[in-house]
Amino acid sequence: MGAKESQGRLCSGLTGPCTARLPIQDPQYQLCPECMLAWLAGSVCPGLEFQRWGSSLCSVPPNTSVPGPCDPEDLLDGVIFGAKYLGSTQLASERNPPTSVRMAQAQEAVDRIKAPEGESQPMTEVDLFVSTQRIKVLTADTQEAMMDHSLQTISYIADIGSLVVLMARRKLPRRSEAAEEKRLYKMICHVFHSPDAQVIAQAIGQAFGVAYQRFLEANSIDPSELSPRQYSRALQDQEQHNTELTHFSRQENCKDVCIRKQKGEILGIAVVESGWGSILPTVVIANLMHGGPAERSGELSIGDRLMSVNGTSLVGLPLGTCQSIIRELKHQTEVTLNIVHCPPVTTAVIRRPDSKYQLGFCVENGVICSLMRGGIAERGGIRVGHRIIEINGQSVVATPHDKIIQILTEAVSEVHIKTMPASTYRLLTGQEQPLFL
């Protein structure tokens, strides 16, 4: 495909040879982006034939530094590179195609987008934002996000001369149960021009390494003491807790509710945010005004998610915007809400094989205030802004902060944590007065 053969060594893979070229030439860095994704996801290296090499497992980035063109600390906040955006195209692909196919896909993206020799090439000045969490394409003048991809969705990076090809994976809707393991993915391929194409590719590869290092730190894992195989097994045991996704996909939980009321009468609901980490970020009904239209309908309950109001989606909107949309319903006599019935309390299940694995979240006065990306807590369903109600069946509503920390510190094996949005908890316990809309 015309790519530089000198851009790096071959990736050693997790359980056998991967054959992908490394964007980083440092001898200590031995994982391609695909393999680093596998580490972060707790799966085996994509595209391998599962040959057991014993001691030939790939090395991990050293705990002291992750080699690359950027300061690792800068990548935590994000580094910006100037570039020219040529365009994007979509390709259908298997989840784990061989390296030759990936290279051909990158070349196909360039062939589709790049103007033929002798013709003018449309280009837009952009800033490429690279961090350990996201890759963003920003307009150079206004800094508005044109594209925004989670780092975990980036499946391939190629620098071809002065061009950078960035490929992000999106899953297509499943067609049938039998086709589950053969499902296709949409590969969103972005093409950029920059004299620093190789440096950009190296920086993205370095971001994967720093993200992996942060993951180890969050779980108190010393790479020199924990073998890659042990680490991979621990993450595989921590299955992602997707009860919320299952709940949302069931038709019986989703419905349209028609509420009739007097003109000038408020709907009579108080709403709060669902909390960071929710599958579908939207507002949650936290209280119902006694005798109000919402309560009179008998169709709504505390904990229900509001997906849309009169056809206007609330998913992903800030709380204040959602409140304004609901407030404007005051002058209508009939309102249609699309809701998902949900219990007010959610349950996170964290599989923690040993106390040396940190849970990866911080608690302040019983409220989850921060969460480490990729940690076992996030995979288990923990959400920022939620109040812990129970731990392994034991109520901690009236438990002092230090005791809650002790319980969490000592909890191992399968840890069941029940939570609800802290704002809902304060409303239900009378600590705050509801703002009815």
Q: Stretch 324-349: mean pLDDT, rounded?
A: 86
Instruction: Give the model's pLDDT for residue 81.
Output: 92
Same domain, 202 and 226: yes
Instruction: Give the model's pLDDT for residue 129.
Output: 92
Q: pLDDT digits over 391-425, tens only? A: 888 888 888 888 888 888 888 778 888 888 888 88
3-state secondary structure the chain: CCCCHHHCCECCCCCCCCCCECCCCCCCCCCCHHHHHHHHHCCCCCCCCCCCCHHHCCCCCCCCCCCCCCCHHHHHHCEEEEEEEEEEEEEEECCCCCHHHHHHHHHHHHHHHCCCCCCCCCCEEEEEEECCCEEEEEECCCCCEEEEEEHHHEEEEEEECCEEEEEEEEECCCCCCCCHHHCCEEEEEEEEECCCHHHHHHHHHHHHHHHHHHHHHHCCCCCCCCCHHHHHHHHHHCCCCCHHHHHHHCHHHEEEEEEECCCCCCCCEEEEECCECCCCCCEEEEEECCCCHHHHHCCCCCCCEEEEECCEECCCCCHHHHHHHHHHHHHCCEEEEEEECCCCCEEEEEEECCCCCCCCEEEECCEEEEECCCCHHHHHCCCECEEEEEECCEECCCCCHHHHHHHHHHCCEEEEEEEEEHHHHHHHCCCCCCCCC
Instruction: Give the model's pLDDT for residue 348.
Output: 83
Instruction: Give the model's pLDDT for residue 279.
Output: 58
Which among 40, 210, 63 is positioned nearest to 131, based on CA atoms? 210
Instruction: Give the model's pLDDT for residue 317.
Output: 80
Kindly state whether residue 384 falls inside one of the protein's structural domains: yes
Same domain, 285 and 180: no
Residue 130 φ/ψ, nearest 5 degrees: -120, 125
Query: Between 407 and 16, where is the model more confident?
Result: 407
Instruction: Give the model's pLDDT for residue 60.
Output: 38
CATH assignment at residue 378: 2.30.42.10
**CA 293, CA 335: separation in Å to the nearest integer?**
10
Instruction: Give the model's pLDDT for residue 142.
Output: 84
The residues, any chain, with a CB within 8 Å of residue 380's CB and separated by 6 or more, are 238, 240, 241, 348, 349, 350, 351, 415, 417
Instruction: Give the model's pLDDT for residue 316.
Output: 74
Q: Stretch 20-28: mean pLDDT, rounded?
A: 38
Same domain, 107 and 47: yes
Q: Stretch 15-38: mean pLDDT, rounded?
A: 41
The partner residues of 65 in beta bridges, in order of sequence, read none
Same domain, 59 and 171: yes
Same domain, 61 and 127: yes
Q: Is the pLDDT of residue 9 over 60?
A: no
Q: Stretch 36-51: mean pLDDT, rounded?
A: 35
Q: Is the pLDDT of residue 274 over 90?
A: no
Instruction: Give the model's pLDDT for residue 361.
Output: 77
Same domain, 394 and 264: no
Kindly state whether residue 417 falls inside one of the protein's structural domains: yes
Query: Between 99 and 330, where is the model more confident?
Result: 330
Query: Between 47 and 190, where is the model more confident?
Result: 190
Kindly state whether residue 434 falls inside one of the protein's structural domains: no
Q: Domain range holding 336?
A: 244-340
**CA 283, CA 263: separation in Å to the nearest integer?**
24
Q: Is the pLDDT of residue 17 over 50?
A: no
pLDDT tier at 85, thresholds 50, 70, 90: very high
Domain count, the chain: 3
Q: Stretch 291-312: mean pLDDT, rounded?
A: 87
Same domain, 410 and 265: no
- Average pLDDT for the chain: 73
Q: pLDDT digits over 369-390, tens only? A: 777 666 677 777 787 788 888 8
Q: Stretch 158-171: mean pLDDT, rounded?
A: 82
Same domain, 70 and 143: yes
Q: Which of 200, 222, 237 is the last residue of a domain?
A: 237
Q: Which of 143-157, 239-253, 312-326 has the lowest mean pLDDT?
A: 239-253
**CA 266, CA 91: separation in Å to the nearest integer?**
49
Q: Which of 213, 237, 261 is the last residue of a domain?
A: 237
Kindly state whether residue 420 falls inside one of the protein's structural domains: yes
Same domain, 217 and 316: no
- Start-to-end C-alpha separation, the chain: 59
**CA 368, CA 362: separation in Å to the nearest integer?**
6
Most confident of 257-261, 384-388, 433-437: 257-261
Same domain, 274 and 394: no
Kindly state whether residue 436 falls inside one of the protein's structural domains: no
Q: pLDDT digits over 198-254, tens only? A: 889 888 888 877 777 776 666 555 555 544 445 445 445 545 444 555 666 667 778
pLDDT tier at 118, thresholds 50, 70, 90: confident
Same domain, 201 and 313: no
Q: Which of 237, 262, 277 is the last residue of a domain?
A: 237
Same domain, 370 and 418: yes
pLDDT tier at 65, thresholds 50, 70, 90: low
Contact criterion met (CB below 8 Å) for 164 and 192:
yes
CATH assignment at residue 160: 2.30.29.30
The distance from CA 55 to its chain's CA centroid, rounded to whole angstroms, is 32
CA distances for 147 relative to 139, 162, 206, 249, angstroms: 10, 21, 20, 27
